[in-house]
Structure formats: structure tokens, C-alpha cells
Structure 1
């Protein structure tokens, strides 16, 4: 007889769209801190739901490795498996590099991003945010997600990397096509790859004050392919989650009375809303993955060598063992797992860049459209049906039409 305690949970479907927090609570009730799950094609894996257990997995790269070659399921994975872009075979990027080589690559990325001038970063974010709002402000209504949040982060990142402003819109289209995974995905991926290699060739010939030039100038001995792959990983990781951070934060501010003051110009609550989103509605829900290097036990579960272990960031953030009152305001508590943990967490400089882009994007929008309001009931808002990234399909709003800033320049 199959019981809830033994039945694996399908990691997908409409419940990840409607109420994943309740689903995680049920999984924790039925399975404990580590739950058996199945992916597309009935591929088995483990999802870590517990805060302490996630800390244990991410703190022990020797036992829970990032080396996907260890996976004991490769013989049953078809070439057209839809999750291959997310759980793929080892690639020449930092994602699948382990040990000292990974630490060296992470240091190169961190040093390149740490050199970004914070005033220059904020200036780029403000300029592109104003440019996007100039195209919307006279209409009186827009979709914040599709027409603003999904366009802003990559424009800023492209500029920091060394791309020209003219290349930015094409890169945004290519990245969003790739993320959507539909008919334009492969073409978008090609455009990004070709553009990155062309950028590196140009910067090798004529270096500039940009992230790409700084990575090329590093003397740690990385190949052109490694630098290109790492730049593309950073671009993808910095774009969609930051766009969802903007969208999820604005949704909270537009639908929760606790944040109403921020809509009248209060800046303090913008940061509070962004912090609460990282706890309660984090853009990155689940991450693939880690692979066990030997048979082991985790939260009483027998994990076999080569098993895939998925990091349940959102579930761990809501673990009642560390958050007894999940409904309380999170304030300045930054102990969330939303940026990962351990060697393979998001580099701190990258996290800081994402935060500046997201916060600036929200503040500029509220400054330019001070009476912005949700267009329709909050219950009508829907999420993308993804167990991995959590973001809105659209955030329709209305506001008083205003002239573009360009009209006064």
C-alpha cells in the first residue's frame, strides 16, 4: 500500500504556480526535512526542505558535489529531456567546477564585480529605468513585469560587462527568448553566445573599464571559453531572478497595506518589502543540484551514491524549526537561503549588484508613477508554472499619465 510518506512528489504542476508554500508544508508533514520527488519523465531526486539540512548539504562539497558526472540516472536521460538546460552534463562554466579550480574562478568573478563603481552602477540603473518608463508613462497603464522588470536588469548588466547601449535591447530579447524555452530559445542562446565571444574579442584587442576586460586581464590562466561561459552564467543568473525580485516586491507593495506608505514616497519600506520577498516569495525557489559522492544519510533518508539532491531554498526559508512565526515581518534578518550558501552560493558582489538594480528599479518607478495601482483584483495575478523560479506572468497597473523626461531635456 502506498502512503503519503512513501509516495514521491512530482516537482511541477499547478501547485507550484498557485501555492508552493502550502505544498512545501504538506511535503514536510508527510516526508520530513528531505522528500523524495520525481522530475519530468519520472526521474527520481531528493528535495531538501529543512533549513539545517540545506545548510549541511551546501557546507559539505566533498559529500554533496556539484559534479553532475556523478549522477546515477544518466543512462535513462534522453537527449531531448526538457530539464537538460538546468541539470545538464558538465559544462566549462563555474556552475559545474569543483574544488580549488572553482574557488579560483569564483575569486576572478568576485574581483571583476567588486571593481564596479557603485555610483556608476546606480547611475546606469536609473538611466535605463527612466528610459523604460519614458516609453510607458504617457499611457496610464502597463504590465510592470513584461514591459519593465523583464527588460531592466539585463540592460544594466550588459552595460557593466562592456556591451554598447545599442546592443542592450537585442540581448534582452535573446535572454528572455531563451528563458521562455519556446521556439525562439535556441536562437536566443546562439545570439547570446555569439555576442559574448564577439565582446571578448573586442576587449582583448582594446580593453576598457568593464567586467569583461577585467576578467580577461586576470592572470589565473582561464581559457576564453571559461571566461565566456562564466560571463553568460552570471548574466542569466543576474537577469531573471532580479526581474522577479522587482516584480514580486512591487506585487507585495501594491497588495499589502503594510507597505502602502512606500507608494507615497517612503523609501524605508522598499527595502523591507524586498527583504520580505526573499523570505516569503523568493525568486529562486529550488536549485539543481548536488550529487552524492558516496552512500550517506540525510535527515534519516538513505541517499545512494550518485543521487541528485535538489536545494529547496524557498522551503528552507519557511522551515518552522527556524521561523516559528512565519507571518512576522522579517525586518533586517538576512539569514535566508535565497542566494544559496557555501562555495557555490551567489558571489557577494553579484548579490550587491542585483540588489542595487532591483531597488533602483522599484524606487524610480514609484518616483515617476507615484499613484500606481493594481489594475484588477490581486487574486487574478498568476505565476509562471515553474518549480525553479517564482515570478508573475504579468503585473497590470494603472496610473496618471505623465510626460516623458525626454520631453523636458
Structure 2
């Protein structure tokens, strides 16, 4: 008897995703039938080679959500609409030459970021967050640190005034965490982007928004606003989770103990291992089949939705035959996607600088840092999409703020 489709929900994505992906692969193979909220069918691509095939063929497996054969079953209040949208003007749902032009605009704007200035600003914001807690001897490295840092740095890169940072932090965290005021957060972010674009049209500066506006490919303000919102959302939460998941690994795995007491060589290794074993973006929606096709031993119909199982592919036993973590500089993971819709390389570099700086500031500033709770008491958000800790409480010997008093 054919095993039933797997609900893409439930506590196991929070507590034991690796075992769940193994069961899916055992029962269904490299491509697993799943059901989303409202009993909506989809395919979860777990195989490394199959995911490479899907992301590498944008004609057969399109990013055009208009192809979906389930739209007549999707209610207006479907909870996944913010993630799987229809007729959205952002780069996420643009295809063909127009997508390549938009991707080039974003890449060019980010590539011009000065890496030394980026690191300096990331250090400054990180130090301010540590200053607020260093005299207390304890801090939640998620809620009081990682969840606040990336958006502040990104806001500075875009050209926002520094006093706008806290409001953007609140709005974005409300959006990505699906809180009841998520819509208000989305509206605040969109309005802030629109005002920034108007300001930069009147007075260009050396920032990401000014460089995007200088592009000559003829993008509308609405297109740029949508792309800026995608860039900030995609850059903030996964980077925050990259920081949190890496710090958790370094605080709970004795292999990284030396880094907690003055060494730094293992920071990059921990960050890379997280991208293989505990990647912040676990699953991504999606691609739509433009015609009937065979994939992983299954018949995929035209208009079917395929979800990209990034963590499942990273742990595919067909490419992990020795069970190793594939660390030590091996970056052939899928954590940033693949193909023309992958995370642009300059965006990856920005995220890496922010994450590494955030981790190193913690290790530099907080002496004898240690978990304040047992490692097995740490919990994850109950999400099949983004994997991150709900909190990471630590304690340490109180130390003065850089300015002599807490901020």
C-alpha cells in the first residue's frame, strides 16, 4: 500500500527534523508527497540530485506561481499566502529575462557595499546590544541579540536613518514570525521603503537604495519596494538564525570549546557546519511544473507545486555516504539555493559578514560564557520553513560596557 502524503506541519519539524526527513525518504524516495494547510497537495524535493535538477531547469520547473493547479482551492485567508503569493511584483515571482535584470540590479547594488565598512557597522551594532546586557551577567542571545542585529545592519546599508532602526526591527520580526500584527509590520516596512525611495530620488547617497534607483532597466517604484522588502526579510531572519544556531553549536559541542576561550579558527567551521546540518532555511516554496514530468520516480503533473527541501538535500545519503558533516570549507550545500533564483552571491557575502561578526563580538565581549539552561531544554520555533531557536539564554561574569556604563 502506498504511504499517505506527509503533513508539512507538526512538532517533529521542531524536535526531530532529521529523523522525519529520513522517514520521508524511506517511505517515498527523493520526492515526497506532502499536504499543506487546508489539505493542499504539494511535492517536497529531498534528494540532492533531484533538487539540483529542479532548481537548474527554470523552464520545466518555473517560479511562475500563476501555473499552480490549486488556486481554485486557496481561500483569501490561507495562512501561507504571504509565502506562496499570486501576481506579486517581487523578484521572487519574476521569470525569464526580466528576472535576470532584477537579479543583476540587486547584485550590483549589494556588490558595491564596502566590506570593511559593513564589518565596522556590524561590530558597532553588536557592541551596542552587548553593552545593554554585559553588566547583568546574563543575556538571551536570540531575543536580545541575534533577532535584533541583522536588520539594523541592513537598514544602514539601505540608507535608513539610524533612529528608524528599532521600528524596522519590530516590524520585520512581527512579519517573519507570523504574529497577530504581522500585517501592520508589513505595512510599516512597505511605507518605510516607499519614503526612503522618495528621499533618495530627491537626494541620492552612497547606499543600496540609491544604487538600485540608478539602474537603467526601467523598474517601477513598486517593483523596487517589493524587492527591498524581499531582500530585508530574506536577509534578516535566516542570518539571525545562522548566528543563533552557530552559537548553540559552539556552546554545546566540545569540538568548539577552544573558540569560546580566545580561539577564532573554529567560528567559520561552526558556521559552515550549521549550513550543512542545521540550516536556517529548511524548506522553500517553490517551483511549479510547466508540464507533466517524471521526478524521483514520481509522476509530477503540470501545475503541481514543488517545495525545495534544502535540509533534506543537504543530508541526502546518496551524497553523504560516509555520514560526515562535509565541513572544512565544503560549501556545496543548498542552504542558499541553486540556479538563477538562488540567493545572489553578494547577498550571501553580506549575510556571512554580519553573522560572523555577530558571533565573534559575543565571544570577544562575554568572558566564560556558558548556557544558562541544559542543552536539551533549548527549543526551536515550530516551523517546517525556518529553523531557529526560540531563545538561547547564557550567563557570564559581568563586565563593563565599552563606554564604561551599560547602554
Q: Under a length normalisation based on structure 2, what TM-score does the superposition of the two structures give?
A: 0.98
Q: By how many angstroms is 1:59 displaced?
A: 0.3
Q: By how many angstroms is 1:328 displaced?
A: 4.1
* 1:111 counterpart = 2:92: no
CA distance in structure 2 between the partners assigned to 1:103 and 1:179 by the alignment: 26
Q: By how many angstroms is 1:102 displaced?
A: 0.2
Structure 2 equivalent of residue 30 of structure 1:
27
Q: Under a length normalisation based on structure 1, what TM-score does the superposition of the two structures give?
A: 0.98
Structure 2 equivalent of residue 153 of structure 1:
150
CA distance in structure 1 between the partners assigned to 2:322 and 2:166 by the alignment: 43
Q: 1:15-94 counterparts in 2 under 5 A?
A: 15-94=12-91
* 1:372 counterpart = 2:380: no
Across the aligned residues of Structure 1 and Structure 2, the Cα RMSD in angstroms comes to 1.0
Structure 2 equivalent of residue 177 of structure 1:
174
Structure 2 equivalent of residue 396 of structure 1:
393
Specify which of 360, 375, 382 is matched with residue 363 of structure 1. Answer: 360
* 1:307 counterpart = 2:310: no
Q: 2:277–2:325: 8 Å Cα contact kept in structure 1?
A: no
CA distance in structure 2 between the partners assigned to 1:369 and 1:408 by the alignment: 15
Q: 1:293–1:305: 8 Å Cα contact kept in structure 2?
A: yes
Q: 1:265–1:370: 8 Å Cα contact kept in structure 2?
A: no
CA distance in structure 2 between the partners assigned to 1:361 and 1:150 by the alignment: 11
Q: By how many angstroms is 1:330 displaced?
A: 1.4
Q: By how many angstroms is 1:90 displaced?
A: 2.4
Q: 2:276–2:326: 8 Å Cα contact kept in structure 1?
A: no
Q: By how many angstroms is 1:325 displaced?
A: 2.5
Specify which of 284, 290, 295 is matched with residue 298 of structure 1. Answer: 295
Specify which of 192, 195, 199 is matched with residue 195 of structure 1. Answer: 192
* 1:267 counterpart = 2:260: no
CA distance in structure 1 between the partners assigned to 2:223 and 2:137 by the alignment: 46
* 1:123 counterpart = 2:138: no
Q: Please state whether the residue corresponding to 1:333 is helix, strand or coil.
A: coil
* 1:347 counterpart = 2:344: yes
Q: By how many angstroms is 1:284 displaced?
A: 0.2
Structure 2 equivalent of residue 405 of structure 1:
402
Structure 2 equivalent of residue 333 of structure 1:
330
Q: Please state whether the residue corresponding to 2:403 is helix, strand or coil.
A: helix
* 1:13 counterpart = 2:10: yes
Deviations 1:69-124 (A, max 9, x none): 00000000010000111111121100000000000000000000000000010011
CA distance in structure 2 between the partners assigned to 1:375 and 1:75 by the alignment: 50
Q: By how many angstroms is 1:181 displaced?
A: 1.4
Q: Please state whether the residue corresponding to 1:189 is helix, strand or coil.
A: helix
Specify which of 369, 375, 384 is matched with residue 387 of structure 1. Answer: 384
CA distance in structure 2 between the partners assigned to 1:329 and 1:114 by the alignment: 28
Q: Please state whether the residue corresponding to 1:208 is helix, strand or coil.
A: coil
CA distance in structure 1 between the partners assigned to 2:46 and 2:226 by the alignment: 30
* 1:244 counterpart = 2:241: yes
CA distance in structure 2 between the partners assigned to 1:181 and 1:59 by the alignment: 31
CA distance in structure 2 between the partners assigned to 1:405 and 1:145 by the alignment: 21
Q: Please state whether the residue corresponding to 1:407 is helix, strand or coil.
A: coil
Task: Give aligned pairs, total.
Answer: 406
Q: Please state whether the residue corresponding to 1:47 is helix, strand or coil.
A: strand
* 1:132 counterpart = 2:132: no
Q: 2:281–2:387: 8 Å Cα contact kept in structure 1?
A: yes
Q: By how many angstroms is 1:329 displaced?
A: 5.4
